[in-house]
């Protein structure tokens, strides 16, 4: 019995490591046919697979359209995995004997996005990207000395180069307020707690175990969450219920100097208010997502002393690509015993 993996031409443009990761997993379990479609492929699925179709007991399609009519030619097929959910319901209705699996909607990039959020937080606190850039053109950042004739408290001195206008320094001791308690937010919250922050979380969609996993105190009202934030981190996914969830009044309630960290979607927040407060030097921003993408080269957020910015790449790493394959593969049975039984029954 054989396994079959189909890969559409454009799939690798979105998930460049996923199909090969799936191939590696299944090769270790038995004979696997791997077909990567070319750009100009015109043949039907049956023409491509050929006589092997009669021996395929499980199949994964990475964006190759599979129809109920196609499945007639796979007599011992028992399990089908579909990366996109576009026609999963039709297949389930038309081929009820099959186990049909789809890519989980989350879980495969939680590590990547949460760790990126941690990195942005540290960079925002210590202005690491700004200093990296500054020392390439000037020696001034190396000099921490004040004017010996006019030494003042609460100013630059002896390796202290943070900006006291904004939340800065260590995570330890900071009041971190997180909107969200899902896979991404809970990982971020756990790390911030371990580093010594006081972490509170609001999420109207999460159940109690999510807050326990996050290791943070649950807050019942979003506006209360934000009023004392040293660092505010909106981490819910963008959907109809969360679009504009953080309103203008809420943004205006953030304490002066607050660091806002954004790694999921900018549309969660009222971005004009964030822009206004950042440009007025009232808050700082560390963001991988924006209201305009890509940011125009003349966007006033770019290159500011109180902004750390990256080009929306928090979620995709080689590992997160591999996790897509792993999460899909986990749904399949590990042996082909039932398939062998079915084949013997058909033969007899």
Does residue 344 register a pLDDT over 80? no
Q: Looking at residue 346, what is its pLDDT?
A: 44
pLDDT at 53 over 70: yes
38 and 24 together in one domain:
yes
204 and 310 together in one domain? yes
> pLDDT for 210-253, tens place per residue?
888 888 999 999 999 999 999 999 999 999 999 999 999 999 99
Q: Is 97 left (phi over 0), alpha (psi -120 to 50) or beta?
A: alpha
Structural domain count of the chain: 2
What are the structure tokens assigned to 208, written together? 């109690």
Mean pLDDT score across all residues of the chain? 92
Write a three-state SS string for the chain: CEEEEEECCCHHHHCCCHHHHHHHHHHCCCCEEEEECCCCCCCCHHHHHHHHHHHEEEEEEECCCCCHHHHCCCCCCCEEEECCCCCHHHHHHHCCCCEEEECCCCCCCHHHHHHHHHHHHHHHHHCHHHHHHHCCCCCHHHCCCCCCCCCCCCCCECCECCCCCCCCCCCCCCEEEEECCCHHHHHHHHHHHHCCCEEEEECCCCCHHHHHHHCCEECCCHHHHHCCCCEEEECCCCCCCCCCCECHHHHHHCCCCCEEEECCCHHHECHHHHHHHHHCCCCEEEECCCCCCCCCCCCCCCCCCCEEECCCCCCCCHHHHHHHHHHHHCCCCCCCHHHHHHHHHHHC
State pTM to two decimals.
0.89
Percent of the chain with pLDDT strictly greater than 70: 94
Model confidence at 184, in pLDDT bands (50, 70, 90)?
Answer: very high
Predicted local confidence at residue 115, as pLDDT = 97
- Report yes or no on 153 lying in a domain: no
What is the pLDDT, as a whole number, of residue 338? 45
- Any idea what the CATH number is for the domain that residue 338 is in? 3.40.50.720
Q: Please tell me the predicted confidence (pLDDT) of residue 85.
A: 59
Domain coverage including residue 253: 110-127+162-315
What per-residue confidence (pLDDT) applies to 94? 77
Identify whether residues 289 and 329 lie together within a single domain: no
Structural tokens at position 340: 């062998």
Does the residue 154 lie in any domain? no
pLDDT at 343 over 70: no
Q: Would 263 be classed as within a structural domain?
A: yes
- 116-142 as b/e, with b when 16 or more CB fall inside 10 Å? bbbbbbebbbbbebbeeebeeeeeebe
For residue 194, pLDDT over 90 is answered with yes
Which whole number is the average pLDDT over 15-36?
A: 96
Whole-number pLDDT of residue 256: 98
**What per-residue confidence (pLDDT) applies to 335?**
57
Residue 246 lies in a domain: yes
Kindly report, residue by residue over 56-97, the tens digit of the pLDDT: 999 999 999 888 899 999 999 999 998 865 677 778 777 777
Radius of gyration of the chain (CA): 26
């Amino acid at each position: 019995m054989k396994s079959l993996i189909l890969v559409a031409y454009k799939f690798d443009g979105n998930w460049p490591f996923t199909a090969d990761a799936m191939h590696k997993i299944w090769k270790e379990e038995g004979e696997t046919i791997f077909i990567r479609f070319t750009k100009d492929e015109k043949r039907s699925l049956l023409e491509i697979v050929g006589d092997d179709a009669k021996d395929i007991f499980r199949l994964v399609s990475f964006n190759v359209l599979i129809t109920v009519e196609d499945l007639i030619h796979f007599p011992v097929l028992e399990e089908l995995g579909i990366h996109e959910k576009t026609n999963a319901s039709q297949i389930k209705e038309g081929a009820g004997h099959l186990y049909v699996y789809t890519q989980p909607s989350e879980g495969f990039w939680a590590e990547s996005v949460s760790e990126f959020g941690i990195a942005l937080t540290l960079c925002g606190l210590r202005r690491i990207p700004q200093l990296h850039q500054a020392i390439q053109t000037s020696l001034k950042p190396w000099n921490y000395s004040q004017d010996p004739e006019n030494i003042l408290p609460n100013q630059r001195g002896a390796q202290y180069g943070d900006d006291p206008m904004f939340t800065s320094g260590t995570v330890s001791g900071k009041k971190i307020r997180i909107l969200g308690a899902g896979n991404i937010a809970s990982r971020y919250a756990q790390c911030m707690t371990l580093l010594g922050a006081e972490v509170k979380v609001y999420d109207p969609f999460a159940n109690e175990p999510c807050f326990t996993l996050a290791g943070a105190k649950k807050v019942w009202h979003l506006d209360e969450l934000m009023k004392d934030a040293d660092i505010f981190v909106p981490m819910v996914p963008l959907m109809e219920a969360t679009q504009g969830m953080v309103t203008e009044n809420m943004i205006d309630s953030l304490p002066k100097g607050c660091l806002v960290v954004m790694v999921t979607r900018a549309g969660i927040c009222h971005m004009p208010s964030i822009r206004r407060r950042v440009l007025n030097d009232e808050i700082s921003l560390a963001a991988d997502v924006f209201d305009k993408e890509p940011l125009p080269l003349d966007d006033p957020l770019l290159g500011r002393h109180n902004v750390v910015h990256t080009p929306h790449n928090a979620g995709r790493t080689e590992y997160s690509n591999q996790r897509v394959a792993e999460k899909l593969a986990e749904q399949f049975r590990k042996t082909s015993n039932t398939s062998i039984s079915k084949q013997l029954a058909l033969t007899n």
